[in-house]
Amino acid sequence: MSCAILYTFRRCPYAMRARIGLHLSSLNPELREIELRNKPAEMLKLSPKGTVPVLVLNEPPINSPKVLDESIDIFKYVLSHYPSTATEYLCSSAYTSLVCSMTDKAAIKLIELNDFQFKPWLDKYKYADRHLEYSEEYYRDKACEFIEILEAKLTVNKQLLSDSPSMADYAIFPFIRQFAHVNKLWFQQSPYQNVKQWLKLHLESDLFKAVMTKHSLWLDDLTQQHHLK
């Protein structure tokens, strides 16, 4: 068995967050790309909540595997326990700054705003036809309250907290990517110039291109039988 396995779904922003952390670490897990509508029984046994990402670590002493199924926990764990000695994506000073940001209160607070305030509005904006209490524009405006916070921070620095990327940048930009894709034309014409430039920088980076490499679908025996029906 591999010393580490990552269950992931390529387009999920939480899974992107975890894969970014892994690409910035020295850990190279076996990557298992799954179907969200047909989740492998093996993954569900390890993490019954059934969401990605799920990182399984078979570290000594191997009594039972260590399972991490929260994206930010994965990000922090792999950079803390499997730091890279020579990452191709960041210079040494920027890497040190990134690691230090994992305990920075400002970074943690910004990620919490993203995950617990922005993301629910983003989901309603993305699926406004399922949430008929308000209009799509209403949900977008509520989501933009967070975008405006980012815009203000990016008037001060090139990244959210400094001129080099912090944990907050890597944890948040996959969700802003999702927000931008709901209505690409509106986003392109929006007044958030700093956010657009920041997002473009991350999306065009070698790191993100590596993170978004396509992998074949992985199926365990039970899932494969169901898939073939």
Going residue by residue through the chain (229 aa), what tens digit of pLDDT does each one get? 468 999 999 999 999 999 999 999 999 999 999 999 999 999 999 999 999 999 999 877 666 899 999 999 999 999 999 999 888 999 999 999 999 999 999 999 999 999 999 999 999 999 999 999 999 999 999 999 999 999 999 999 999 999 999 999 999 999 999 999 999 999 999 999 999 999 999 999 999 999 999 999 998 755 554 544 4
Distance CA 170, CA 141 (A): 24
Distance CA 55, CA 73 (A): 10
164-174 as b/e: b if 16+ CB within 10 A: bbbbbbbbbbb
pLDDT for the residue numbered 61: 67
Q: Which residues contact 94 (CB under 8 A, 6 or more apart)?
A: 164, 165
pLDDT for the residue numbered 3: 85
Q: Are residues 113 and 48 in the same domain?
A: no
Q: Which residues contact 2 (CB under 8 A, 6 or more apart)?
A: 29, 30, 58
Looking at the domain assignment, is residue 133 inside a domain? Answer: yes
Structural domain count, the chain? 2
Contact 43, 54 (CB under 8 A): yes
Q: What is the pTM of this model?
A: 0.93
Owning domain of residue 25: 4-89+215-228
Q: Which residues contact 164 (CB under 8 A, 6 or more apart)?
A: 90, 93, 94, 97, 98, 158
- Phi, psi of 3, rounded to the nearest 5 degrees: -70, -20
Looking at the domain assignment, is residue 46 inside a domain? Answer: yes
Looking at the domain assignment, is residue 111 inside a domain? Answer: yes
pLDDT for the residue numbered 198: 98
Looking at the domain assignment, is residue 95 inside a domain? Answer: no
Distance CA 197, CA 188 (A): 11
pLDDT for the residue numbered 85: 84
Q: Which residues contact 211 (CB under 8 A, 6 or more apart)?
A: 16, 19, 20, 23
DSSP state of 218: P
Looking at the domain assignment, is residue 29 inside a domain? Answer: yes
Q: Are residues 18 and 74 in the same domain?
A: yes
Q: Are residues 71 and 108 in the same domain?
A: no
